[in-house]
Amino acid sequence: MKTPQTLKLACLLCIIALQAVTSEGQTVTKVAAGGYHSLFLKSDGSLWTMGDNDDGELGDGTYNQANLPEQIVASNITAIAAGVFHSLFLKSDGSLWTMGDNSYGELGDGTTDNDNYNTNLPEQIVASNVTAIAAGVFHSLFLKSDGSLWVMGNNGYGQLGDGTYNTTNLPEQIVASNVTAIAAGRYHSLFLKSDGSLWAMGYNASGQLGDGTYNQTNRPEQIVATNVTAIAAGWTHSLFLKSDGSLWAMGYNGYGQLGDGTYNQTNRPEQIVATNVTAIAAGYFHSLFLQSDGSLWAMGNNYDGQLGDGTTDNDNYNTNWPEQIVASNVTAIAGGGDHSLFLQSDGSLWAMGDNASGQLGDGTYNQINLPEQIVAGSSVPPGYNQISGQLLGTGDMQLSFVGIAGANYALDHSFSLAPPNWAPQLTNPTDAGGVLVFTNTPDPTTNNFWRIRSVP
């Protein structure tokens, strides 16, 4: 029998290898938002990108923007960071890779040649032991497994923290140990140490360093002595969390991005929310945070709908108080230039805001002021994402898979599981009931292994 969901394959399936068939719902696990582009990871470790690509920041080998997600690396990616015109990612072996603009050496590859100052394919910068990454406008930060902090790129305001204002196109060590988290803004940088202290360096004209002055500094200075657990850096403002779940902010506030009910900048940290905040993100001039109940809150500039509250009224396009956007089930957030991304607990990816370069990944270039699902999740009832096998009277083996109705799934095979080398075979959608059937002719003398995975 043959239907659009029943496929006769000229491939071999060993009956005794049926137990090795696996199903994988490829949910989204991490997000990063740049100035005009976006990155995300799926649960299989694959890296996907969309949006502006004038400098090669998507890493697809072209300089063409993309308004739909495209896969750049198939597996083994563990962390991502997006600057305004460049991108960073880590692999499971601890190696650091970069792509995009390199006009100030922010890729860290030793070049800033004006005739060839960017790359549109990922290039390896550090071979191992990198654990965290952050990207600013024209500078980059990373941590190694020994807790050391390294920097590269533009240093015109001291944002590299090396005591100079000199650009560097190779990674340079700034702190030798005990650094646990990093964040990069437009021209300033933040980091945490293992004792919970917050440190800052770079541009400070709006008070974004939080040191009580408006003076830039080219050396790290301690801002808070203890109990800081998370940091985020926007264009000219900064956010951090304390261990009691309180949210604090400092810097430019012309669009209400600090969320204190005013439009006044501050050069000292001020408490915005007293408790229950679990995650933070900062865009150019807007801010996002999550609370412990999974709710998403936003404040600041909303000219392009990046807050996701359904408005972009030119007479009232921002808010200086946190407003709830989603009531529950949000697990991760990212703030881009004028767009925002978030994940829900089912692994679905959502986006809102500016989309002029396709950075929302919805197949259009239209901005949107309400959250829009870009990649579907895989939270389904018990019994779903299961494979069952039946030996037919014809000698064929029928594999029945139950997934999400109308979703696309691919059949892969490997000749071994030690290690597996999955090769894609066919892709088909499930029917209205979520059922997809593949029919194969097994050969007991050949030990083949099969899996089914979701695809965009």
Three-class secondary structure assignment of 268-280: EEEEEECCCEEEE
From first to last of its 456 residues, the chain has per-residue pLDDT tens of 222 222 222 222 322 233 333 334 578 999 999 999 999 999 889 999 999 999 999 999 999 999 999 999 999 999 999 999 999 999 999 999 999 999 999 999 998 665 568 999 999 999 999 999 999 999 999 999 999 999 999 999 999 999 999 999 999 999 999 999 999 999 999 999 999 999 999 999 999 999 999 999 999 999 999 999 999 999 999 999 999 999 999 999 999 999 999 999 999 999 999 999 999 999 999 999 999 999 999 999 999 999 999 986 665 689 999 999 999 999 999 999 999 999 998 889 999 999 999 999 999 999 999 999 999 886 444 444 556 666 665 666 666 776 777 788 887 777 777 777 777 777 888 776 677 776 666 555 555 677 777 777
Per-residue model confidence (pLDDT) at position 14: 28
Domain CATH number, residue 439: 2.60.40
357 and 443, same domain (yes or no): no
186 and 234, same domain (yes or no): yes
- Residue 75 in domain: yes
Give 348's contacts (C-beta < 8 A, 6+ positions apart): 27, 28, 373, 375, 376, 377
408: Cα separation from own chain's centroid: 23
Per-residue model confidence (pLDDT) at position 30: 96
Q: Last residue of a domain, which of 342, 375, 408?
A: 375
- Residue 341 in domain: yes
205 and 264, same domain (yes or no): yes
CB atoms within 10 A of CB 383: 8
Domain total of the chain: 2
The alpha carbons of the chain give a radius of gyration, in whole angstroms, of: 24
197 and 341, same domain (yes or no): yes
Q: Last residue of a domain, which of 341, 375, 409?
A: 375
Tell me how many degrees the CA angle 309-311-317 measures, rounded to the nearest 5.
Answer: 105
241 and 172, same domain (yes or no): yes
User: pTM for the complete prediction?
Assistant: 0.80
* Burial class of residue 137 (count of CB atoms within 10 Å of its CB; 0-12, 13-18, 19+): buried
204 and 305, same domain (yes or no): yes
341 and 423, same domain (yes or no): no
- Residue 430 in domain: yes
* Burial class of residue 73 (count of CB atoms within 10 Å of its CB; 0-12, 13-18, 19+): middle
CA distance 53 to 61: 10
Strands 28-33 and 37-42: antiparallel
- Residue 1 in domain: no
Q: Last residue of a domain, which of 375, 410, 425?
A: 375
User: Which pairs count as long-range contacts for 121-125, CB under 8 Å and 24+ apart, including other chains?
Assistant: 121/56, 121/59, 121/60, 121/61, 122/59, 122/72, 122/73, 122/89, 122/97, 122/98, 123/97, 123/98, 123/99, 124/95, 124/96, 124/97, 125/96, 125/97, 125/98, 125/171
- Residue 279 in domain: yes
Per-residue model confidence (pLDDT) at position 2: 24
150 and 230, same domain (yes or no): yes
Per-residue model confidence (pLDDT) at position 428: 80
Strands 66-73 and 77-82: unpaired
Domain CATH number, residue 251: 2.130.10.30
331 and 221, same domain (yes or no): yes
448 and 299, same domain (yes or no): no
330 and 438, same domain (yes or no): no
- Residue 74 in domain: yes
Range of the domain at 303: 28-375
Q: What DSSP element (H or E) covers 207?
A: none
- Residue 291 in domain: yes
- Residue 345 in domain: yes
CB atoms within 10 A of CB 340: 31
Q: How many DSSP H helices and E strands does the chain contain?
A: 0, 36
265 and 331, same domain (yes or no): yes
- 3 state DSSP class of 54: coil
Among 445, 412, 428, CA closest to 21: 412
Query: In the beta sheet, which residues pair with residue 202?
Result: 188, 217
